[in-house]
Amino acid sequence: MSRSYLVGLAGNTQRPSRTLGLVEALVAEIGLRHPVDSEVHDLVDLGADLGATLDPRFAPPRLAGILDAIETADALVVASPVYKGAYTGLFKHLFDLIDPKGLAGKPVVIAATGGSERHSLVVDHALRPLFGFFGAAIVPTGVYGTEKEFLDYRPSHSALVARIGQAADETARLLRVHAGPAALARRA
């Protein structure tokens, strides 16, 4: 079985972050089910470079590298903290810089974190339409975690851990179908 290239992206605006912990947990669980080369990026590290970039052709090197990683990955794990009922503005801006055809058919795990259950619909009402626009193969199980489901910024509650496992199972099945062409091309 060939290795797949998996990119995780946390749409954080601060650290420490439960959102980053969620992305790392999802990437790790997928890696237990399917061989992957993976990397995780955190938007907080891009800061002003991301906000000041209006055209991907003029992106600073670090941002350009992340845009390339997103577009060449075999699959993505994306998560954002809920901010005013949706994903963060910088998270959306990053995907505004992605080619509209850049995610077509690509498996994408969508996830979010928030202070309470009342924001859980952000996964289906904000993230699913965003990645549907790109024609991504959105993994059926979206993952939402509340503050009380984390311990030291890592998923700890059994229900959240179970959702992570289910999303990882579904992603691994999709990756087996896609057979990892991006990982092979990156090594060439």
Question: Which pLDDT score, from 0 to 100, does residue 87 have?
Answer: 94
Q: What are phi and psi of 180, to 5 degrees?
A: 70, 40
- pLDDT for the residue 121: 85
The band of 187, judged by pLDDT with boundaries at 50, 70 and 90, is very low
Residue 180 has pLDDT above 60, yes or no: no
pLDDT at 18 over 80: yes
pLDDT, tens only, 41-84 = 999 999 889 999 999 999 999 999 999 999 999 999 999 999 88
- Domains for the chain: give ranges and CATH numbers: 4-187 (3.40.50.360)
**Percent of the chain surpassing pLDDT 70:** 94
**Most distant CA atoms of the chain, gap in Å:** 46
Percent of the chain's residues with pLDDT above 90: 82
Return the H-helix or E-strand segment holding 155: strand 154-155
pTM, to two decimals: 0.93
Hey, how many other C-beta atoms are within 10 angstroms of the C-beta on 115?
12
Neighbour-count burial for 51-81, b at 16+ CB within 10 Å, e otherwise: eebeebeebeeebbebbebbbbbbbbbbbbb
Instruction: Give which of 74, 34, 39 is closest to 172, Cα–Cα.
Output: 34
Query: Can you give the pLDDT at residue 158?
Result: 97
**pLDDT at residue 131 is higher than 50:** yes
Cα–Cα distance, 176 to 188 (Å, whole number) = 21
Output the average pLDDT for the chain. 93
pLDDT value of residue 182: 56
